């Protein structure tokens, strides 16, 4: 496969890099410290097509391919992982699910607003007792003559407290199991729907994360996304896309670690010479560069398969597993290059580590990714 970027992709990369350096990087530290949601930066992304990268132009999107989406998420992730996480949810989970599973009416109602920044989306699958075991969700949807009633709760939902439109998963039967799961579109302000922001996170501090509560939350019949028993299938297809987005963002974290470490190593003088001349420092930075290139190629492989509409569950899991673990390694090494200064928020590398760690957990832990990869090789399912 040829992974040389075409001219349009090169121009997009340049635009995304320029936007990140100009708008995202200068605000990232203060947004992190103050746990400030970057609404202003999100709005500036809309005219560039970043909020609707994959969406066809007929719905107000940019009509980009998956390589282009990876480029955007890498560059944004290089500047601020909180912002990249918000963007990933919007693109990879919400817009993707609506495009693939929504009716024409649902697409017309929500997708243009998601692309132009008027609407913010969230994807609500995880519950207090159902993380990796998504089939065991307890939130239940009861059919009424005039629609559905949701009862239950969700947790660790990115942008959950700010979203205007949420895709929420619930069981339609008291019996557990993936065949009884359905997906619903819930709008902000729906009766019986409340949220509570989660504070005290290690990283992603400027990305809103919330608990969601549904108490006889009444939804119209048209709130159902896809067919009644297709919820688990919708969730898995979205997570394939979401893991790809996380992996692309992790490439950005590694690139940021490389850039910060190279700059510091050239400037920091010890024993009367720059530490860039020390073999041990070069070893740390070389490992980052290898992990960056390997991660990017794995992301591009998954992107190319998506562009060709080929099944890519395993390839997306490989990219997510490798890139997320590599991002943590790179951040640890970047702190080591910076020494004591790396332990302070005077430099960005400590934030890179805090933000990188969650990428090995959300949208499927590293352990779950290895089980998915193992199943593809062995033909034996380790769970459900």
Report pLDDT for 382: 80
CB neighbours of 35 closer than 8 A, spacing ≥ 6?
A: 199, 205, 206
For residue range 235-279, what is the model confidence (pLDDT) as tens digits? 999 999 999 999 999 999 999 999 999 999 999 999 999 999 999
Which pLDDT score is estimated for 57? 96
Q: How confident is the model at residue 133 (pLDDT cuts 50, 70, 90)?
A: confident
Is the CB of residue 294 less than 8 Å from the CB of residue 322?
Answer: yes
Distances (CA, A) of 320 to 92, 226, 293, 381: 14, 27, 14, 19
Quote the pLDDT of residue 384.
59
Chain center to CA of 263? 28
- pLDDT band, very low/low/confident/very high, at 30 (cuts 50, 70, 90): very high
Alpha helix stretches (DSSP H) within the chain: 7-19, 25-34, 39-45, 66-79, 81-88, 96-101, 104-116, 231-267, 279-307, 313-338, 349-357, 366-378
Give the residue-averaged pLDDT of 53-70.
96
Band (pLDDT 50/70/90 cuts) for residue 174 is: confident
CA distance between the termini of the chain: 34
Count of CB atoms situated within 10 Å of the CB of 297: 15
Q: What are the tens digits of pLDDT across the range 136-153? A: 899 999 999 899 999 999
Q: Are 326 and 353 in contact, with CB atoms under 8 Å apart? A: no
Q: What is the average pLDDT across 70-87?
A: 98
Residue of 211, 325, 350, 363 marked active site: 363
Determine the pLDDT at residue 179. Answer: 81
Residue 363 among the catalytic residues: yes
* Rounded Cα gap, residues 163 and 316, in angstroms: 26
> What per-residue confidence (pLDDT) applies to 175?
75
| pLDDT value at residue 145 | 87
Which three-class secondary structure state does DSSP give residue 156? strand
Beta carbons within 8 Å of 179's beta carbon, 6+ residues apart = 229, 232
Lowest mean pLDDT of 62-66, 95-99, 129-133, 362-366, name the range.
129-133
- Which region among 62-71, 78-87, 160-169, 373-382 has the lowest average model confidence (pLDDT)? 373-382
- Residue 299, Ramachandran bin (φ over 0: left; ψ between -120 and 50: alpha; else beta): alpha
For the chain, percent of residues with pLDDT exceeding 70: 98
Question: Quick count: other Cβ atoms within 10 Å of Cβ 282?
Answer: 14
- Number of helices (H), then strands (E), belonging to the chain: the values are 12, 10
Q: How far is CA 52 from CA 42, 59, 79, 237, 259, in A?
A: 12, 9, 19, 18, 28
Q: What is the rounded average pLDDT of the residues 192-211?
A: 97
Going by C-alpha positions, the residue among 168, 159, 179, 183 that lies closest to residue 82 is 159
3-state secondary structure of 361: coil
| Among the listed residues 304, 310, 306, the one whose alpha carbon sits nearest the alpha carbon of residue 242 | 306
Statement: the pTM of the whole predicted model exceeds 0.75: yes
Q: Burial, 32: exposed, middle or buried (Cβ in 10 Å; 0-12, 13-18, 19+)?
A: buried
Distances (CA, A) of 194 to 89, 157, 364: 20, 13, 26
Tokens 């928020």 belong to 345
Query: Looking at the predicted structure, is the pLDDT value of residue 47 above 90?
Result: yes
Residues 329, 287 contacting (CB under 8 angstroms) = yes
Give the mean pLDDT of the chain: 95
Summarised one tens digit per residue, pLDDT across range 110-125 is 999 999 999 999 999 9
Strand, helix or coil for residue 62: coil
Structural domains of the chain sorted by starting position, each given as residue range(s) with its CATH number in brackets = 7-120 (1.10.540.10), 122-228 (2.40.110.10), 233-378 (1.20.140.10)
Per-residue CA distances from 112 to 1, 55, 115, 119, 120 (Å): 34, 9, 5, 9, 11
Res 64 pLDDT > 70: yes
CA gap 59, 306 in Å, rounded:
20
* Strands 209-219, 121-124: pairing kind: unpaired
Q: Residue 173 above 90 pLDDT?
A: no
């Amino acid at each position: 496969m040829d992974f040389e970027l075409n001219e349009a992709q090169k121009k997009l990369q340049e635009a995304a890099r320029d936007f990140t350096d100009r708008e995202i990087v200068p605000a990232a530290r203060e947004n992190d410290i103050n746990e400030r949601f970057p609404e202003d930066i999100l709005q500036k992304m809309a005219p560039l097509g970043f909020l609707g990268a994959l969406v066809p132009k007929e719905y107000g999107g940019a009509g980009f391919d998956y390589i282009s989406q990876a480029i955007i998420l890498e560059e944004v992730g290089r500047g601020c992982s909180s912002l990249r996480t918000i963007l990933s949810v919007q693109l990879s989970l919400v817009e993707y699910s609506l495009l693939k599973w929504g009716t024409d009416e649902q697409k017309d109602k929500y997708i243009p607003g998601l692309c132009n920044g008027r609407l913010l989306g969230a994807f609500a699958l995880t519950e207090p007792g159902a993380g990796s075991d998504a089939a065991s969700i307890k939130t239940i949807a009861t059919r009424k003559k005039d629609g559905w009633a949701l009862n239950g709760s969700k947790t660790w939902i990115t942008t959950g407290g700010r979203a205007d439109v949420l895709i929420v998963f619930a069981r339609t039967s008291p019996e557990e199991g993936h065949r009884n799961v359905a997906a619903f579109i819930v709008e902000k302000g729906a009766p019986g729907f409340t949220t509570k922001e989660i504070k005290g996170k290690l990283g992603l501090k400027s990305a809103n994360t919330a608990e969601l509560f549904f108490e006889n939350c009444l939804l119209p019949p048209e709130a159902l996304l896809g067919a009644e028993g297709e919820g688990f299938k919708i969730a898995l297809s979205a997570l394939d896309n979401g893991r790809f987005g996380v992996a692309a963002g992790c490439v950005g974290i590694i690139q940021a670690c490389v850039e910060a470490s190279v700059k510091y190593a050239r400037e920091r003088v010890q024993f009367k010479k720059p530490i860039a001349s020390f073999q041990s420092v070069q070893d740390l930075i070389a490992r980052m560069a290898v992990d960056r290139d390997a991660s990017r190629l794995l992301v591009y492989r998954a992107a190319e398969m998506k562009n060709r509409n080929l099944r890519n569950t395993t390839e997306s899991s490989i990219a997510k597993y490798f890139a997320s673990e590599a991002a943590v390694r790179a951040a640890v090494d970047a702190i080591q290059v910076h020494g004591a200064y790396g332990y302070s928020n005077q430099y960005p590398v400590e934030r890179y580590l805090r933000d990188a760690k969650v990428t090995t957990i959300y949208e499927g832990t590293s352990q779950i990714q290895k089980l998915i990869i193992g199943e593809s090789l062995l033909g034996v399912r380790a769970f459900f």
